[in-house]
Structure 1
Amino acid sequence: MSPYELYVYSAIGLLTVCSLVTRAGFAVFGDYLPLPDSLRRALRFAPVAALTAIIVPEILPWAPGEGPRFDVRLLAAVIAVLVYFRTRSAVLVIISGMLALWGLRWVAG
């Protein structure tokens, strides 16, 4: 085994251990290390913040160095949000957003 392969395998192993410890840490040690209520309240918003950080840069209608422009992704996202407010169904949001995106891309050609 070459030093490069050893480096790669050890990096993969260490990252696996780190991922396992950080993900399973609260399940294993949660009873022994209770979180303060303020931190528990703040952690409720972590999934929403992560999802927003992923979605918003994708639907913004501008790119670095360019001015605002029309983009069908923003309009499809607005349609999906309207469907959510009307139905409160995550499945319908995904379906309507994708159908709107495909339809708008087909029309825009």
Structure 2
Amino acid sequence: MTDIEIWIVILSIWLATFIARSGFWLAGNRINLPQRVQEALRYAPACALAAIIVPDFLMNPNLANHWDFSWHNPKLMAGIAATVFFQLRKNMLQTIIFGMVVFTALRLL
């Protein structure tokens, strides 16, 4: 790609992002979403986060990006351990530290 094509792509992506994110802000109170849609949108951040994290836990780059549900997958085991830890302690910072310690220990073993 030439420099001008790269800048066109960057500006196009910027414009698309600006339009998508400012649509509701510019419309203000003129648009009212139905209550059912508003309730469904509450789960959008959790769904987006799950869509990013779950493939990272389950894909193994050493196996040509195949799913890896085995006990030998350190990311998956650390994720399960961190989930259990969070359910017991309800502290996000401790959960992050615990998950990283477990992941590092499993990876080094």
Which TM-score tier does this pair reach, normalised by the shorter chain?
A: 0.7 to 0.9
Are residues 39 and 15 of structure 1, via their aligned partners in 2, closer, same or farther at CA, if it must alter by over 3 Å? same
SS at 2:47 equivalent? helix
Q: Secondary structure at the match of 1:34?
A: coil
Q: Which runs of 5+ in 2 are unaligned?
A: none
Q: Structure 1 residues 11, 53: closer, same or farther in 2, change over 3 A?
A: same
Report whether the alignment pairs 1:43 with 2:41: yes
Q: Determine if the alignment matches structure 1 residue 21 to structure 2 residue 19.
A: yes
Q: Out of 37, 56, 67, which is 1:58 matched to?
A: 56
Whichever residue aligns with residue 90 of structure 1, its letter is M
Unaligned 5+ runs, structure 1: none
Partner residue in 1 for 2:105: 103
Determine which of 11, 29, 32 is the counterpart of 1:31. Answer: 29
For the 8 Å contact 1:80–1:93, the answer to whether it is kept is yes
Looking at structure 2, the residues matched to 48 and 68 of structure 1 have their Cα atoms a distance apart, in angstroms, of 22
Q: 1:67 to 1:97 in 2, by over 3 A?
A: closer
- Measured on the aligned residues, the alpha-carbon RMSD in Å equals 2.3
1:80, distance to aligned residue in structure 2 (A): 0.5
Residues paired across the two proteins, number: 104
Rounded to whole Å, the distance in 1 between the matches of 2:94 and 2:102 is 12
TM-score (norm 1): 0.79
1:5 lines up with 2:6 in the alignment? no
What is the aligned-residue identity percentage?
28
Letter in 2 for 1:10: I
**Structure 1 pair 25–102 and aligned structure 2 pair: CA distance change class (3 A):** same
Report the Cα offset of residue 61 of structure 1: 7.0
